[in-house]
Amino acid sequence: MTQIKLYGLGGQGVVTCAKILSKAVSIYENRYATTIPAYGHERRGAPVYTDMVIDTRPILQNCFVYKPDVVMVLDEAIIAKQVDVGKGIHPNTILVLNASAAAAERYKTAYAFREIYIVGATAIALASTGRGIPNIAMLGALAKAGIVKLDSIKIAIMVAFEKEGERNANAAQQAYNKTRTL
């Protein structure tokens, strides 16, 4: 079982990101996934989170994630908004972060993640789609971290976005190629 916590700001597509990831693993990787969005506080620019569980067996629980194996942060500024992205992490938890190298260092200093994957997903999204919404590019970074196969992500993106599918899948591919570990 892999437990994932996704953090971002309202308008960055945190819930959409989780839904596409859920479809990618459920439909194209023959695994099970459940998405637990935290509704009620979403507004543009406000901190938002969504929880996910992925497993090879049916998932019989439907609750928030309290001990994440993976934390994905769609905006480096989330740390400045007093959101504790390290809450509940354990020695093997990894971080997938949309950030500059300087911001990634702040996360490295503040939290004890086993490994940190960083990518400039907002810039990639802007160049690929004309919009600075990092969610889909971050799925490519998540694939680089080994959580999901890149091909599964790309197919799920193409299905979800139809007309914009190719540009969004390209953003995921570019993020995959540019993601590095800190």
In tens, the pLDDT along 14-43 reads 989 999 999 999 999 999 999 998 765 556
Determine the residue type at 12. Q
pLDDT, average across residues 153-181: 95
Q: Are strands 2-9 and 70-73 parallel, antiparallel or unpaired?
A: parallel
What is the per-residue pLDDT for 170?
96
DSSP 108-135: HHH---SEEEEE-HHHHHHHHHSS---H
Instruction: List Cβ neighbours of 28 (8 Å cut-off, separation of 6 or more).
Output: 149, 151, 152, 155, 156
**9 with 45: CB under 8 angstroms?**
yes
CA 168/CA 165 separation, integer angstroms? 5
Greater confidence (11 vs 88) lies with 88
User: What confidence tens digit (pLDDT) does each residue in 144-157 have?
Assistant: 999 999 999 999 99
Taking the model in full, what pTM does it have?
Answer: 0.93
Residue length of the chain: 182
Handedness of CA 16, 72, 180, 133 (dihedral sign): positive
For the chain, give the mean pLDDT: 92
CA 11/CA 15 separation, integer angstroms? 10
Greater confidence (39 vs 9) lies with 9
Other Cβ atoms closer than 10 A to 135: 27
> Is residue 45 predicted with pLDDT exceeding 80?
no
Domain 2-181: homologous superfamily in CATH: Pyruvate-ferredoxin oxidoreductase, PFOR, domain III (3.40.920.10)
Determine the residue type at 125. A
User: What confidence tens digit (pLDDT) does each residue in 90-139 have?
Assistant: 999 999 999 988 888 889 889 999 999 999 999 999 999 999 999 999 99
CA 23/CA 39 separation, integer angstroms? 20
DSSP label at residue 164: G
Q: Which of 181, 148, 6, 163 is nearest to 172 (CA)?
A: 148
